[in-house]
Amino acid sequence: MEQNIQDLIERATNGNYEVHGEPKYAECLIGFSFGYKKLGDKILPGLSNTDLAEFISNNYSSLPKILQFEIADALTDCTGFMHRIEKHRETGTYLNTLEVAIQAKEIMDKHQWGTALLIAHPYHMPRVDAVCQKLGIKTIVPPGLESVKFDTESEQEWTRDQAGWTQKEPKSITWYADKDWL
- pLDDT of 64: 96
Which one-letter amino acid corresponds to residue 111?
A: H
Task: Identify the burial level of 168 via C-beta atoms within 10 angstroms of its C-beta, where 0-12 means exposed, 13-18 middle and 19 or more buried.
Answer: middle
From first to last of its 182 residues, the chain has per-residue pLDDT tens of 555 999 999 999 999 999 999 999 999 999 999 999 988 889 989 999 999 999 999 999 999 999 999 999 999 876 778 899 998 888 888 889 999 999 999 999 999 999 999 999 999 999 999 999 999 999 999 999 999 999 999 999 999 999 999 999 999 999 999 999 99
| Most distant pair of Cα atoms in the chain: their distance | 44
Please give the CATH number for the structural domain made up of 2-178. Answer: 3.40.50
Residue-wise DSSP of the chain: -HHHHHHHHHHHHHT-PPPBS-GGG-SEEEE-----EEETTEEE-HHHHHHHHHHHHHH-TTS-EEEEHHHHHH--S--S-EEEE-S-SSTT----HHHHHHHHHHHHHHHT--EEEEE--TTTHHHHHHHHHHTT-EEEB-S-GGGPPP-TT-SSGGGSSHHHHHHHHHHHHHHHHHTT--
The Cα 87–Cα 65 span in angstroms is 17
Which one-letter amino acid corresponds to residue 48?
A: S
- How, if at all, do strands 28-31 and 115-119 pair? parallel
> Which pTM was predicted?
0.94
Q: State the distance between the two ends of the chain, measured CA to CA, in whole angstroms.
A: 10
| Domain range summary for the chain, segments of one domain joined by + | 2-178
The closest alpha carbon to 102, from 137, 64, 153, belongs to 137
